[in-house]
Amino acid sequence: MIDTTRIQAITLDLDDTLWPVAPVIVHAENTLRDWLQQHLPRTAQLWQTPDLPREVRRAVVQRHPERRHDLSFLRREMIRDVMVQAGDAPGHADAAFEVFFAARQQVTLFEDSLGTLRALAGRYPLLALSNGNANVRQIGLGDCFVASIAASQVGCAKPDRRIFQAAADAAGLAPEQILHVGDDAQLDAQAAREAGMQAVWLNREGKPWPLETAPPPQIHTLATLVQWLLPR
Ligand SMILES: [Mg+2]
């Protein structure tokens, strides 16, 4: 069990914790593809080349290793590279990226997300802690969170303990006073514990704990957090 007496704030992973991420990435990529087809058909066609996006991404990361955790930066540079290769003006990259980015915020929350966030936010400061480029304010969840910690800003990604420390710093607390909740056994649950936080593994599908370490407390639905943390 978790030691609720020590918890002063909660950090939450976003993708696959509050909403399923795969459908929203498909939606964002389709939206970008449609926009390119309409505005820059040569870029759109080149983008469809099998393996090309992956190769371009690799090239961008090689050029900018210090930005490898900044998924928005990588995406914008990828678009720019493909535009240049296709013979289009790379000045359109920002507009194309904005189309992708806006679509990427159109998530569909898991059923238990909003109620749990609202209930917890009434008692604890909540901080978003994500390796991705979802934006809780644009998604409409800004009221639930006091801060957002993103790998793109910190310059490192989970499981690096520095990103957990950055969240603790943002909360003005020690890691020991924070509970981290996330769906990834390694990047969330195990890494948070190694950074000195308590952790709950959100295991929606009832998978076995995949690591050699002792399993952390696990939940199958976020709503369980309300039972654990807000006893009547
Ligand atoms: Mg996740």
- Tell me the HSE value of 188 on the side-chain side, using a 13 A CA sphere: 29
Task: Say if residue 123 is in the same domain as residue 224.
Answer: yes
Q: Provide the pLDDT for residue 232.
A: 72
**Mean per-residue pLDDT over the chain, rounded:** 97
Pair 26, 76 in one domain: yes
Cis, peptide link before residue 159, omega less than 30° from 0: yes
Query: Could you tell me whether strands 178-182 and 198-202 are parallel, antiparallel, or unpaired per DSSP bridges?
Result: parallel
As residues whose CB is below 5 A from the ion ligand 1, the structure lists 13, 15-17, 183
31 and 94 inside one domain: yes
Residues 154 and 50 both lie in one domain: no
Same domain, 75 and 151: no
Span 11-43, pLDDT tens digits = 999 999 999 999 999 999 999 999 999 999 999
155: left (phi over 0), alpha (psi -120 to 50) or beta: left
The model's pLDDT over 36-82, given as tens digits with 9 standing for 90+, comes to: 999 999 999 999 999 999 999 999 999 999 999 999 999 999 999 99
User: The tokens 């990047």 sit on which residue?
Assistant: 187
Whole-angstrom Cα distance, residue 156 to residue 20?
23
CATH number at residue 216: 3.40.50.1000
- pTM, rounded to two decimals: 0.94
Q: Measured in whole angstroms, how far is the alpha carbon of residue 190 from the centre of its chain?
A: 17
Q: How far is the CA of 185 from the centre of ligand 1 (A)?
A: 9
Residue 15 has φ and ψ, to the nearest 5°, of -60, 130
104, 135, 161 — which closes off a domain?
104
Structure confidence by residue, pLDDT tens digits, 187-202: 999 999 999 999 999 9
**How many angstroms does the Cα of residue 111 sit away from the middle of ligand 1?**
16
Instruction: Name the catalytic one among 3, 13, 70, 183.
Output: 13
Cα-to-centroid distance, 21 and ligand 1 (Å): 8
C-alpha 20 – ligand 1 centre gap (Å): 9
- Domain final residue, candidates 80, 104, 128: 104
CA distances from 102 to 21, 73, 150 (A): 14, 15, 17
Give pLDDT tens digits for 69-128.
Answer: 999 999 999 999 999 999 999 999 999 999 999 999 999 999 999 999 999 999 999 999
Closest CA to 44 of 56, 55, 32, 54: 32
Please confirm, yes or no, whether 13 is among the known catalytic residues. yes
Strand residue runs (E) in 151-206: 178-182, 198-202
Q: Check whether residue 92 and residue 132 sit in a common domain.
A: no
Ligand 1: distance of its center to the CA of 118 in Å?
A: 20
Q: Kind and range of the H or E element at 85? A: helix 71-86
List, as one string, the DSSP characters of 56-74: HHHHHHHH-GGGTT-HHHH
pLDDT class for 1, splitting at 50, 70, 90? Answer: confident
Q: What phi and psi values does residue 26 have, to the nearest 5 degrees?
A: -60, -45
> Domain check: are 161 and 52 in the same one?
no
Q: In angstroms, what is the span from residue 27 Cα to ligand 1's centroid?
A: 18
Q: Are 46 and 16 within one domain?
A: no
Helix (H) or strand (E) holding 218: strand 218-219
Residues 73 and 176 in one domain: no
Number of domains present in the structure of the chain? 2
pLDDT at 115: 97
Residue pair 113/222 in contact by the 8 Å Cβ criterion: yes
- At residue 180, the pLDDT reads 98
Tell me: do 144 and 169 sit in the same domain.
yes
For 214-229, what is the mean pLDDT? 97
- Expressed as residue numbers, the domain containing 145 is 4-20+109-229
